[in-house]
Amino acid sequence: MTGTTEGRDESTQERADRQWQELIQEIRVAQTGVQILFGFLLTVVFTPLFHELPQTDQTIYIVTIVLGSLATGALIGPVAFHRIVSGRQIKPEAVAWASRLTFTGLVLLLATCTAALFLVLRVATHDALVPWLVAGVLAWYLLCWFALPLWARIRYTVEN
């Protein structure tokens, strides 16, 4: 076995297998959320009230549905990627690409959630406070999804 700088005694292939399993667990959480959100978004256009919305709200909806579709594609992408390259002895590369797709999917999910919240609050309240509320929620998402993990990465990473 090959020792690593991460303090684990695992080969490159064993590391790729472990990383793949961890990534798949992460994807399951995000994928479920985006699929439920996307499914609900798909139904909105078929409600009678949709066609009564102002053009601005319809445009926000279209942008939101496209973002949700892109997020879904990016978060399902690693599964298709793995299936297509399985058995080709390129698991470390597959893990790297799947990780990129997952990160892209999370960014698109962030945009989808933000746009959907913006649309719902605009329609529900017609209040000038809506952009501020959405900005606050977006800041919370950014804190939870990116700032805190980056802080922990910097704070707790041990240099070898």
Please check whether residue 58 lies inside any domain of the structure: yes
Domain count for the chain: 1
The DSSP element (H or E) to which 6 belongs, if any, is none
Inter-residue contact 109 to 76 (CB < 8 Å): no
Domain extent at residue 113:
12-127
At residue 158, the pLDDT reads 85
- Quote the pTM value: 0.87
Q: Is the pLDDT of residue 1 over 50?
A: no
3 state DSSP class of 45: coil
At residue 86, the pLDDT reads 86
Please check whether residue 134 lies inside any domain of the structure: no
Dump pLDDT digits (tens) for 98-146.
999 999 999 999 999 999 999 999 999 989 999 999 999 999 999 999 9
Please check whether residue 33 lies inside any domain of the structure: yes
Please check whether residue 104 lies inside any domain of the structure: yes
Sequence length of the chain is 160
At residue 147, the pLDDT reads 98
Dump pLDDT digits (tens) for 49-103.
999 999 999 999 999 999 999 999 999 999 999 899 988 999 999 999 999 999 9
Name the nearest CA neighbour of 23 among 112, 110, 103: 103
Chain centroid offset of residue 63 CA: 16
Please check whether residue 87 lies inside any domain of the structure: yes
Q: Is the pLDDT of residue 4 over 60?
A: no
| DSSP letters for 68-135 | HHHHHHHHHHHHHHHHHHTTSS-HHHHHHHHHHHHHHHHHHHHHHHHHHHHHHHHHHH--TTHHHHHH
